[in-house]
Amino acid sequence: MNLGLVSKTAINKIFWAVLITAMLFISAIVNVYASDSLTEDEKKLISQGEVVVREVSIDNQQGKTFEAIGLINAPGETILKVLTAYEKYPEFMSNISRVDIVKKSGTDVVLNYTLSLPLGKMKKYRLKISMTEPNNQISVLKWQLQKWPGLDPRETIKDTTGYWRIEKKTEKSSLVFYHVYTDPGPIPFGLEWIVDVLSKKSVPEAFLQTKARTEKIALNIGTNNKSE
């Protein structure tokens, strides 16, 4: 028996098993965190225009998971156009200083992100983003961390996954879930604030910044349609 071949085969099987499990895990989360997962108090706050931010406890994960949920006064198509204009993120999302498209294949895209943090700190990471085929009610944009060859571990983060889930409420409004898991990896003493910048603080900020940009575009579209 060729032990080298067996070991290589076993490693490949483990790799694909882990990858498939991760993909199924994210899909399961997307399905669970629908509007039915909201409490009555959360539904009331959202109906009043508030954005609900909550920490999600997930077993066997070293990082933190946060999500922001609220109404965006725009149709899902407009929201998706904003979210898939990746290279324009630095125009309205805090801390994102650069986004480069590495590869595109259908609705999948691989992106390199550069974050500019306080005190001159920077973080870089690569994501693969996939969009499910939109239907009349729900669209999902989800991502997973990818290896960035040549990047020093100190320059990047250990792991991140997440999704945007857009659920149609009316012709001009959508219920949006922004769900993010982040494990920044080892943090040097005195720089613990980086954890909050990359998770607890950034999630509601990104949601509100996306909401503001999308609603401005939707308003301009509505105004232009009325003037025609």
Based on the fold, state whether residues 2 and 97 are members of the same structural domain: no
Query: 11: domain range?
Result: 1-32
Q: What is the dihedral of CA 191, 192, 196, 199, to 10 degrees?
A: 100
133 with 110, same domain? yes
Q: Looking at the 3D structure of the chain, how many domains does it have?
A: 2
pTM (two decimals): 0.80
Written as six digits, the tokens of 124 are: 């870089």
Same domain, 83 and 16: no
Asked if pLDDT for residue 28 goes beyond 50, the answer is no
**Which three-class secondary structure state does DSSP give residue 197?**
helix
- The CATH code of the domain that includes 112 is 3.30.530.20
Number of H helices, E strands in the chain: 5, 8
Mean pLDDT over 19-24 rounds to 43
- How far apart are the C-alpha atoms of 203 and 123, rounded to whole Å? 16
User: Could you give the CA distance from residue 33 to residue 142 in angstroms, rounded to a whole number?
Assistant: 13
pLDDT at 24 over 70: no
Over 80: is that where the pLDDT of 32 sits? no
CA atoms within a 13 Å half-sphere pointing along the CA-CB vector of 32: 8
One domain for residues 60 and 139: yes
Q: Residues 114, 170: one domain?
A: yes
Tokens representing 12 are 């490949």
Do 197 and 167 lie in one domain? The reply is yes
- 210 shares its domain with 135: yes
Query: Does residue 22 sit in the same domain as residue 48?
Result: no
Residues 95 and 61 in one domain: yes
Q: Are residues 20 and 47 in the same domain?
A: no
